[in-house]
Amino acid sequence: LSSAEAEFISLSGAVKEAIWLRMLLKDLQRDVGGPTVIHEDNQACITVAEDDRMTKRLKHIDVRYRFVQDEVQRGIVRLEYVPSEEQIADIMTKGLTRVQFEKLRKLLGVSA
pLDDT in tens, the chain (112 residues): 678 788 888 899 999 999 999 999 999 999 888 999 999 999 988 988 888 766 566 666 767 678 898 999 999 999 999 988 888 887 887 888 889 888 888 888 888 7
- The answer on 104 and 72 residing in a single domain is no
- The answer on 94 and 65 residing in a single domain is no
- The answer on 51 and 92 residing in a single domain is no
Q: What total of structural domains would you count in the chain?
A: 2
Confidence at residue 25, expressed as pLDDT on a 0 to 100 scale: 96
3-state secondary structure 65-94: HCHHHHHHHHCCEEEEECCHHHCHHHHHCC
The 3-state DSSP class for residue 38 equals: strand
- The answer on 55 and 25 residing in a single domain is yes
Residue pair 45/2 in contact (Cβ under 8 Å)? The answer is no
pTM for the complete prediction?
A: 0.80
Confidence at residue 3, expressed as pLDDT on a 0 to 100 scale: 80
User: Domain of 43?
Assistant: 3-81
- The answer on 89 and 62 residing in a single domain is no
- The answer on 75 and 33 residing in a single domain is yes
- Residue 105: CB partners within 8 Å, gap ≥ 6? 91, 111, 112
